[in-house]
Chains A and B, each alone.
Chain A
Amino acid sequence: MTPAPGRSRTVLVLSGLAVTLVLAIIAGVAFGAVPISPGEVVSAIAHALGGGERTLADAVVLDLRLPRVLLAALVGAALALAGVLYQALFRNPLADPYILGVSSGAGLGATVAMMALGTSYMMRAIGVPVGAFLGAGLTMVLVVRLASRRGRLDPTSLLLAGMAVSYILSALTSFLLVLDREQMSSVVFWMMGGLQNRSWEHVASLGVMLAIGSIAPALYHRELDLMLLGDERAGQLGVSVERFKMLALASASLVVAGAVSVSGLIGFIGLMTPHMVRLALGPRHRLLLPASVLAGAIVLVVADLLARVVLAPVEVPVGIVTALAGGPFFLWILLRKERTR
């Protein structure tokens, strides 16, 4: 009879993360070619919300910096959410959209859409996320098929199949780009995981996809817990396993597609964040899901800040920063797993 401490801890942890995220966003907006004080950032947001006169600083904050930083937060949140879902469904702490090849699939889908739909703004706004979603979904199906033997999914095969498919799809994307030299440089930069020159439209498009993709995980957090006991056991305890998997994988593909279509391939956020959060807070998804989403947002906002600071005024694509941090993290988990075996 001890539900009380769990509840208050949940509130404490989530509000702590939310405050940290707000501070990270303010810091992210404040830093740049023209430094803006945190106070100016807050007042600019207040002006935007409450009307009133706009200063030059306000314009820089609202038109240039804020969309970019908010986009970083949304992308981080989306990738972390997808990571939580993959790790639960495959019972594999190493699963994440990048390693499973889903990001590459979404990237290829988005690239094909961009080339096929021409330069019409409306066509791109709708077509690119749709292409990314189809690419992500089909890749997931392909990777699971490749890693299954007689209905059983081998964890190691899953990672190997994911990585192999990821290389193939990335190569195909590069091949397409060579064919179409005009677009090459912009798309290549996008593929490396960049957040430059993003607008409120990108924020809105990813915001909508993330919101839709969050519905099922929020409603079915207990099913995610049960999936960790294995498919058969989850079924015995009342989960419609196949249907739930479809729903959860579709949700994951949707948020990955949203993230990839606005920011290209940013790796390891979906791996690192849920893993660290689980170590700190335990595996129950009622807390793990929202905490990972907030932590993912914080991590990517901070990574983006680092990407701008390290070689300032030159910007490093944020995907390179996350890969530099995430690669060693991946190895650390892998070695830890081997040792405890």
Chain B
Amino acid sequence: MSASDRHDAVIASAGATGAAPGALEYVRASIGYGARIIVRDASFTVAPGEFVGLVGPNGAGKSTLLRAMTGGASVSSGDITFGGVSLVRMPERERARIVGVVPQTQLATFSFTARAYVEMGRHAHLGRLATPAAADAAIVDEVMELTDTARLAVEPVDELSGGDLQRLTLAQALAQQPRVLLLDEPTSHLDLNHALQVLELVRSLADGGLTVVGVFHDLGLAARYADRISIVADGGVTSPAPPASALDARVVSDVFGVRAVVRTDPVTGSVAVTPIVRGADLAPAVSGPRIGLVCGSGAGAGLMRRLARAGHPLYSGALNRGDVDHAVAEAVGAGMAELPAFGEVDDIVAADVRAGYAACACVVVCETPFGSANLPNLQAALDSGRPLVLVGEMDDQRDYAHGRAHALWERALERGAQRVDSEADVPGALGRCSGVEA
């Protein structure tokens, strides 16, 4: 697939129309329908070749922001300009040579062939009496190739699937040879494979100089493909920011009412947003006594989720950034002493952790391997004097601290710690330790 070769041609020919290069700018634009204002004072700039994603809850006005550019919504004050020229007051024909739109849904009640449908994108470039020429045909062929729709050319559009129609509509918009491409949930009818294909294409077109503004439902896709992200909520729009800062966990929970882990995906390197539990499910942890956990390396993740959902406040000791348990503890709001990656526990932190465990009704030692990094957690749990629940057996597979973990384990058992075989038995053990009900 040599999509990158071909998109250069689309952009190059778009440039050849002679329009001045320019930025897309919302200038204190208040946008709505008639007298009803949906978004107030939108002010931001999208640079040439930049891809800005708009995210926000349903009905916040994401689509309205886009539709205002092509007359589908009204701009009651302010302006939207391209290269300093108002798009709002521009004649439709001229505007259609600058702005291409892929709407959320498209009527297909009349049976044009797919090719004729895409060719309609050439309308604004054709003279009144002209019929599409060879150059137009070449552009239509090219955009159909790019969008992987060439094989549909003779199919009637009213018999195609929603996904095919959506890609044809993208082809139609690209046939306009636009300088700005507006996408209103461009992947809503597409399966994952085609959604990624379409976004990869749009991304490569943006890299080639096309300015893109896209409305996204999927925060992960927005973060992965957009250069910057704006949040549309409560009648306003934030100034676009890089995905990592635009989509921090607090923003996601404020705007969408969803608790989420926002982290850089280790494989793709882009920001990944993973919703944890719906806000209503994860009651502010108040309905049980505090439980301490000695965990790390993901061994405590399952138990933390379970206890958090049961309403227990949690304390998870010292955890290194980058540890799976660290991410989970952060997501469920567990208390902890945060260490840098590969950081070690010093005396000050150790005292801190001991105090943390001392405030718990009971401390669970999860089935985690122990090394010099997390051994201080086990020590602190023992020193806190709280009742302990030990999960699993301490053998050579778990003790990487030259027998020191084993020694602490034995001492805990001598002091009357309960031992259970697996995580499933923990709630029962907690019930037996000083009236805790898991």
Stretch in A71-79, A133-141, A237-245, A252-260 touching the partner: A237-245
Q: Determine if B112 and A236 form an interchain contact, defined as CB atoms under 8 angstroms apart.
A: no
Q: Determine if A225 and B107 form an interchain contact, defined as CB atoms under 8 angstroms apart.
A: no
Name the interface residues of B123-165: CB closer than 8 Å to any CB of A. 123-124, 126, 128-129, 131-132, 134, 137-138, 141, 153
Contacts of B112 in A (CB 8 A): 225, 228, 282-284
- A9 at the A/B interface (Cβ < 8 Å)? no
Q: Determine if B91 and A236 form an interchain contact, defined as CB atoms under 8 angstroms apart.
A: no
Cβ-neighbour of B141 out of A1, A228, A283 (below 8 A): A1
Q: How far, in whole Å, are A240 and B90 apart by their CA atoms in the complex?
A: 11
Q: Determine if A238 and B107 form an interchain contact, defined as CB atoms under 8 angstroms apart.
A: no
Contacts of A239 in B (CB 8 A): 92-93, 123
Q: Determine if B93 and A240 form an interchain contact, defined as CB atoms under 8 angstroms apart.
A: yes
Q: Determine if B95 and A238 form an interchain contact, defined as CB atoms under 8 angstroms apart.
A: yes
Write out, one digit per residue, whether chain A residues 1-27 have a CB within 8 A of any chain B CB (1) or not (0).
111000000000000000000000000
Q: Determine if A226 and B123 form an interchain contact, defined as CB atoms under 8 angstroms apart.
A: yes
Q: Determine if A238 and B110 form an interchain contact, defined as CB atoms under 8 angstroms apart.
A: no
Interface residues on A, range: 20 to 34
Q: Determine if B91 and A237 form an interchain contact, defined as CB atoms under 8 angstroms apart.
A: no
Q: Determine if B97 and A238 form an interchain contact, defined as CB atoms under 8 angstroms apart.
A: yes
Contacts of B99 in A (CB 8 A): 236
Q: Determine if A236 and B96 form an interchain contact, defined as CB atoms under 8 angstroms apart.
A: yes
Write out, one digit per residue, whether chain B residues 32-72 have a CB within 8 A of any chain A CB (1) or not (0).
00000000000000000000000000000000000100111
- Of chain B, the residue at the smallest CB distance from A222 is B123
Q: How far, in whole Å, are A286 and B93 apart by their CA atoms in the complex?
A: 20
Q: Within the complex, what minimum Cβ distance (angstroms) separates B257 from chain A?
A: 30
Q: How far, in whole Å, are A142 and B326 apart by their CA atoms in the complex?
A: 68
Q: How far, in whole Å, are A229 and B172 apart by their CA atoms in the complex?
A: 12
Q: Which residue of A1, A226, A238, A283 has the most chain B CB atoms within 10 A of its CB atom?
A: A238
Q: Determine if B111 and A237 form an interchain contact, defined as CB atoms under 8 angstroms apart.
A: no
Given A238-B93, A238-B95, A240-B91, check contact A228 B176 (CB 8 Å). Answer: no
Contacts of B138 in A (CB 8 A): 1
Cβ-neighbour of A238 out of B67, B72, B92, B115 (below 8 A): B92
Contacts of A278 in B (CB 8 A): 110
Q: How far, in whole Å, are A229 and B121 apart by their CA atoms in the complex?
A: 12
Q: Determine if A240 and B92 form an interchain contact, defined as CB atoms under 8 angstroms apart.
A: yes
Q: Determine if B110 and A228 form an interchain contact, defined as CB atoms under 8 angstroms apart.
A: yes
Given A238-B95, A238-B123, A238-B124, check contact A91 B109 (CB 8 Å). Answer: yes
Q: Within the complex, what minimum Cβ distance (angstroms) separates B77 from chain A?
A: 21
- A179 at the A/B interface (Cβ < 8 Å)? no
Q: Determine if A237 and B124 form an interchain contact, defined as CB atoms under 8 angstroms apart.
A: yes
Q: Within the complex, what minimum Cβ distance (angstroms) separates A8 from chain B?
A: 14
Q: Within the complex, what minimum Cβ distance (angstroms) separates B361 from chain A?
A: 60
Cβ-neighbour of B121 out of A1, A219, A223, A237 (below 8 A): A237
Name the interface residues of B337-368: CB closer than 8 Å to any CB of A. none
Contacts of A236 in B (CB 8 A): 70, 72, 96, 99-101, 103
Given A3-B132, A283-B111, check contact A229 B96 (CB 8 Å). Answer: no
Given A91-B109, A232-B67, check contact A237 B123 (CB 8 Å). Answer: yes
Q: Within the complex, what minimum Cβ distance (angstroms) separates A80 from chain B?
A: 18
Q: Determine if B109 and A233 form an interchain contact, defined as CB atoms under 8 angstroms apart.
A: no
Q: How far, in whole Å, are A283 and B97 apart by their CA atoms in the complex?
A: 25
Q: Determine if B109 and A228 form an interchain contact, defined as CB atoms under 8 angstroms apart.
A: yes
Contacts of B141 in A (CB 8 A): 1
Cβ-neighbour of A1 out of B67, B92, B128, B137 (below 8 A): B137
Contacts of A91 in B (CB 8 A): 107, 109-110
Cβ-neighbour of A283 out of B70, B110, B137 (below 8 A): B110
Q: Determine if B70 and A225 form an interchain contact, defined as CB atoms under 8 angstroms apart.
A: no
Q: How far, in whole Å, are A233 and B115 apart by their CA atoms in the complex?
A: 17
- A230 at the A/B interface (Cβ < 8 Å)? yes
Q: Determine if A229 and B111 form an interchain contact, defined as CB atoms under 8 angstroms apart.
A: no
Cβ-neighbour of A237 out of B72, B96, B107, B110 (below 8 A): B96
Q: Determine if B70 and A226 form an interchain contact, defined as CB atoms under 8 angstroms apart.
A: no
Q: Within the complex, what minimum Cβ distance (angstroms) separates B89 from chain A?
A: 13
- Of chain B, the residue at the smallest CB distance from A88 is B110
- A235 at the A/B interface (Cβ < 8 Å)? yes
Q: Within the complex, what minimum Cβ distance (angstroms) separates B243 from chain A?
A: 28
Q: How far, in whole Å, are A337 and B138 apart by their CA atoms in the complex?
A: 37
- B434 at the A/B interface (Cβ < 8 Å)? no
Q: Within the complex, what minimum Cβ distance (angstroms) separates A19 from chain B?
A: 25
Q: How far, in whole Å, are A2 and B134 apart by their CA atoms in the complex?
A: 10
- B116 at the A/B interface (Cβ < 8 Å)? yes
- B106 at the A/B interface (Cβ < 8 Å)? yes
Contacts of B71 in A (CB 8 A): 232, 235
Name the interface residues of A271-288: CB closer than 8 Å to any CB of B. 278, 282-284, 286
Contacts of B116 in A (CB 8 A): 225, 284
Q: Within the complex, what minimum Cβ distance (angstroms) separates A57 from chain B?
A: 44
Q: How far, in whole Å, are A278 and B111 apart by their CA atoms in the complex?
A: 9
Q: Determine if A282 and B123 form an interchain contact, defined as CB atoms under 8 angstroms apart.
A: no
- B120 at the A/B interface (Cβ < 8 Å)? yes
Q: Determine if B111 and A232 form an interchain contact, defined as CB atoms under 8 angstroms apart.
A: no
Contacts of A3 in B (CB 8 A): 131-132, 137
Name the interface residues of A203-226: CB closer than 8 Å to any CB of B. 219, 222-223, 225-226
Q: How far, in whole Å, are A233 and B134 apart by their CA atoms in the complex?
A: 25
Q: Determine if A235 and B92 form an interchain contact, defined as CB atoms under 8 angstroms apart.
A: yes
Q: How far, in whole Å, are A30 and B261 apart by their CA atoms in the complex?
A: 86
Q: Within the complex, what minimum Cβ distance (angstroms) separates B298 from chain A?
A: 50
Q: How far, in whole Å, are A149 and B385 apart by their CA atoms in the complex?
A: 73
- Of chain A, the residue at the smallest CB distance from B67 is A232
Write out, one digit per residue, whether chain B residues 3-46 have a CB within 8 A of any chain A CB (1) or not (0).
00000000000000000000000000000000000000000000
Selected A-B contacts with CB under 8 Å, 11 pairs: A3-B132, A91-B107, A225-B112, A225-B116, A235-B70, A235-B92, A237-B120, A238-B96, A239-B93, A240-B91, A282-B112
Beyond contacts A233-B107, A235-B92, A236-B103: 10 other A-B pairs, Cβ-Cβ < 8 A, are A222-B120, A226-B123, A228-B107, A229-B120, A235-B72, A236-B70, A237-B172, A238-B93, A282-B113, A283-B112
